[in-house]
Structure 1
Amino acid sequence: MRGVDTFTENLFSVRKLDDFVPTSHPLRSIRVMANEALAKMDRIFAGMYEADIKGGRPSIAPEKLLRAMLLQVLYSIRSERQLMEQTQYNLLFRWFIGLSMDDSVWVPTVFTKNRERLIRHDAVVEFFNEVLSIAQKKNWLSGEHFSVDGTLIHAWAGHKSFVRKDGEEDRDNDGGSGEGGFKGSKRSNETHESKTDPDARLYRKGKTASELRYMGHTLTDNRHGLVVNARVSRADGHAEREAAKVMINDARQAANDAAAQITLGADKGYDAQEFIEACQQMKVTPHVAQNTSGRRSAVPDAIARSVGYAISQQKRKLIEQGFGWAKTVGRMRQVMVRGLKKVDQMFVLNMAAYNLVRMRSLGQARP
């Protein structure tokens, strides 16, 4: 018997949002860990709003704001406007953020303004650190064996915005100027800068074309490939090694045992005498891939022959998974914010989300 195409709604419902989310849904364990991290950030959240004028319009709760930002990364949502649109009708999103069925969804511009407050007060960095502390409690970090690498991030700026700093117009080979006039002319970061994103740098690596870019850096723990440090710098030929020295020094300082044997795995791009010496001065064993192409490697042969070196070279490849995830699932292939500070915060948020996804899988494999 054919059913009748009718639609009838009940006047009242006794079901909760939690009833609509499957018990095995991956967001359940991620939300538990995210809430655990957010609960420890009450002091920083209070400091963010203590200077506000009393009696003003209530802002978005920072906990809800951070959970919404996590959803934007986890579900590859390209804009705040689209995020607010989906939150309007997506019960899963409302449940994860902490909105009831009857709560109004925020205006996109208000959401963006409140997000800027989190970035200003480094709340995203604090959230990343609290997520990492959860992994530490569960013994998912070795705290001694690390890998480092960098990746290029396309800036939200085009070639036409890259103009001379002195205000003069570029001229092409035929003496023309104006739109497209830069073709055939020499441009560099010393004489030019982007009008839309002054922090971006024209940079190329390997066989890639020169583009306006930033450079993202991560330090991962070799036990399970979790990211323990993340930062963004302006793109240049020395940025990777300089960022690596800062991150491994932080890891060295954070080690509980001052006599711990810290190792650092890296690719051939880090095989430079000054970097190897800097690692040894910090009492870090440099498990850097030897670059012997027409030159002598700075990595001692005694280190390269060790068993630990071979393990580090195998484990360091895990770092590429974080970069790949951030560029395909996250929104870091071409970041849609401008300025070094904002790009850095978005990169750190992506790595915090990546850690939560990996920790969720580790929790299932090692309850």
Structure 2
Amino acid sequence: MMGPRQEAQAALFYEFSLEEHVPQDHLLRSIDRHLDLSSIRGHLADFYSHTGRPSVDPELMIRMLLVGYCFGIRSERRLCEEVHLNLAYRWFCRLELTDRIPDHSTFSKNRHGRFRDSDLLRHVFEATVARCIEEGLVGGQGFAVDASLISADVQKQNSSNPEGWAAREIDPTDAPRAVREYLDTLDDEAFGAATTAKPKFTAHADPASQWTAARKGPAFFAYSDNYLIDTDHGIIVDVDASRSNKTAEVGAMRKMLDRTEDRFGVKPDWIAADTAYGSSDNLVWLALKRQILPFIPVFDKGERTDGTFSRSDFTWDDENDRYICPSGKEMRHTWRTYSDPARNAPAWKARRYRTRKSDCTGCALKAKCCPNSEVRAIHREKYEIVRDFARQCTASEYNPTAQRRRKKVEMLFAHLKRILGLGRLRLRGPCGVQDEFTLAATAQNLRKLAKLKPMVPATE
């Protein structure tokens, strides 16, 4: 039998509890258990006036932003609508059914003002990392670092040649916010001072973004999202924004390592990365200055692809400061005999090692060694001993384990783009980009906490 028609009737009284309508296994319940925002008011105390109309609760705004980044809601207008309609979001934000949702413009006003001046988003991120350490999810023995390209919110049609753009007279007081931030970062190692190479195009709306074709496809404007993770559970211990070039990404890695040790007292025993971090300067900084084992492939141009012997085919004799070629002949940087042996002692400088002409002339392997020159020469870097040490690390038995754990950072970037929807930036300028990356990393850590340390169901 067909039931009666359902008609909406306005009730005079409701007895409703948000607590009862949010499932016990909801993701936000586990996140809320680990999220501690009690220090926000004290952190922002100096940035609010003691008089005037009461402002929107900063904890409410942070909770709403975290909801947006945890569930891939990028638009703040849509975020306000979703929090208004979704009971679980209201419960997480400590809002009752009759409470009013803040206007979307409140987020922009606070982000460009007191949130950025107080570095509040960094404060929330570090509080989340501290909670991960407290829960035992950060071992501190092994770290991994990598960078991923995120498209900037600009178009090529609104760009020009760097020389033509720089020739324009720009009034900092009248320029857009992203342009002012670009001018402020010209001496920053992660942005303007990262490299002297001039990009092909500069975006007018966001000149700090990098024109790059690193994906082996059509070029586009982008920023690099740099993650430093602990390889035990893939917790992001630091995040930083930079331009999309190797020099800037290496500088971001150094800054993140120093900042992690300064904030949390955590210094890894080893670090894994790809070849982009395998330059001589960076390996020296890691191995000698920071005493960290580098499981990083050496950035080496000594390998040949034309069928002739590469540098790795020659054996280094450290005790006698010489190379031994495949035919057994020795190669020295000088064949002169000094009366004072100290003048020929090994030194920390670049050297060029050569064989004798007589050794190469009648050698049976000359066609495979130096067919186009009289003698074979090998250039040895100033810190080649450090590069050799890095090669020993990557040839060790532990390297496959380190490289397998390094893939966790790539999985985080895939989760960032596919699940959280951060494939293209919404904010512009170095500060806006850093805000987005910091909030996204905080959301990922909170989701990881909720997954690895979920709520224990109450037993009746």
Does the TM-score normalized on the shorter chain lie above 0.5?
Answer: yes
Q: How does 1:130-141 map to 2 (within 5 A)?
A: 130-141=127-138
Secondary structure of the corresponding residue to residue 238 of structure 1: helix
Q: How does 1:227-246 map to 2 (within 5 A)?
A: 227-246=236-255
Contact 1:73 1:329 (C-alpha < 8 Å) held by counterparts = no
Residue of structure 1 aligned with 2:219, choices 188, 195, 210: 210
Shifted more, 284-293 versus 266-275: the winner is 284-293
- Is 1:303 aligned to residue 415 of structure 2? no
Residue of structure 2 aligned with 1:348, choices 438, 448, 453: 438
Counterpart for residue 59 of structure 2: 63
Percent of residue pairs bearing the same amino acid type: 26
- For residue 254 of structure 1, report the CA deviation from its aligned partner: 5.6
CA distance in 1, matches of 2:76, 2:443: 17
Contact 2:140 2:268 (C-alpha < 8 Å) held by counterparts = no
Residue of structure 2 aligned with 1:286, choices 294, 299, 305: 294
Shifted more, 158-167 versus 337-346: the winner is 158-167
TM-score (norm 2): 0.69
| Counterpart residue type for residue 29 of structure 2 | R
Residue of structure 1 aligned with 2:273, choices 258, 261, 266: 266
CA distance in 2, matches of 1:317, 1:355: 17
CA distance in 2, matches of 1:107, 1:304: 53
Secondary structure of the corresponding residue to residue 67 of structure 2: helix
- Is 1:8 aligned to residue 9 of structure 2? yes
- Is 1:222 aligned to residue 221 of structure 2? no
Shifted more, 290-299 versus 118-127: the winner is 290-299
Counterpart for residue 112 of structure 1: 108
Higher-Rg structure is 2
- Is 1:318 aligned to residue 408 of structure 2? yes
- Deviations for 1:188-244, whole angstroms, at most 9, x for unmatched residues? 846853221122121221413221111110100011010001010122231221211
Counterpart for residue 184 of structure 1: none
- Is 1:92 aligned to residue 91 of structure 2? no
TM-score (norm 1): 0.85
CA distance in 2, matches of 1:305, 1:190: 37
Contact 2:145 2:409 (C-alpha < 8 Å) held by counterparts = yes
CA distance in 2, matches of 1:77, 1:255: 31
- For residue 306 of structure 1, report the CA deviation from its aligned partner: 3.0
The verdict on how the C-alpha distance between 1:299 and 1:220 changes in structure 2, with shifts beyond 3 A counting, is farther
Contact 2:154 2:205 (C-alpha < 8 Å) held by counterparts = yes
Secondary structure of the corresponding residue to residue 63 of structure 2: helix
- For residue 65 of structure 1, report the CA deviation from its aligned partner: 0.4
What is the RMSD computed on CA atoms of the aligned residues? 2.5
Shifted more, 99-108 versus 188-197: the winner is 188-197
Shifted more, 336-345 versus 100-109: the winner is 100-109
Secondary structure of the corresponding residue to residue 39 of structure 1: coil
Shifted more, 121-130 versus 80-89: the winner is 80-89
Counterpart for residue 182 of structure 1: none
Contact 1:276 1:299 (C-alpha < 8 Å) held by counterparts = no
| Counterpart residue type for residue 157 of structure 1 | V
- For residue 273 of structure 1, report the CA deviation from its aligned partner: 1.3
Secondary structure of the corresponding residue to residue 272 of structure 2: strand
The verdict on how the C-alpha distance between 1:263 and 1:299 changes in structure 2, with shifts beyond 3 A counting, is farther
The verdict on how the C-alpha distance between 1:86 and 1:253 changes in structure 2, with shifts beyond 3 A counting, is closer
| Counterpart residue type for residue 151 of structure 1 | S
Contact 1:322 1:351 (C-alpha < 8 Å) held by counterparts = no
CA distance in 2, matches of 1:299, 1:219: 25
Counterpart for residue 199 of structure 1: 208
Counterpart for residue 40 of structure 2: 41
Unaligned runs of 5+ in 2: 170-196, 304-310, 313-386
Shifted more, 13-22 versus 217-226: the winner is 13-22
Q: How does 1:144-223 map to 2 (within 5 A)?
A: 144-163=141-160, 164-165=164-165, 166-167=167-168, 189=198, 192-223=201-232
Counterpart for residue 185 of structure 1: none
Contact 2:201 2:211 (C-alpha < 8 Å) held by counterparts = no
Contact 2:246 2:277 (C-alpha < 8 Å) held by counterparts = no
CA distance in 1, matches of 2:126, 2:61: 18
- Is 1:72 aligned to residue 68 of structure 2? yes
The verdict on how the C-alpha distance between 1:126 and 1:277 changes in structure 2, with shifts beyond 3 A counting, is same
The verdict on how the C-alpha distance between 1:155 and 1:261 changes in structure 2, with shifts beyond 3 A counting, is closer
CA distance in 2, matches of 1:153, 1:266: 19
CA distance in 1, matches of 2:285, 2:438: 25
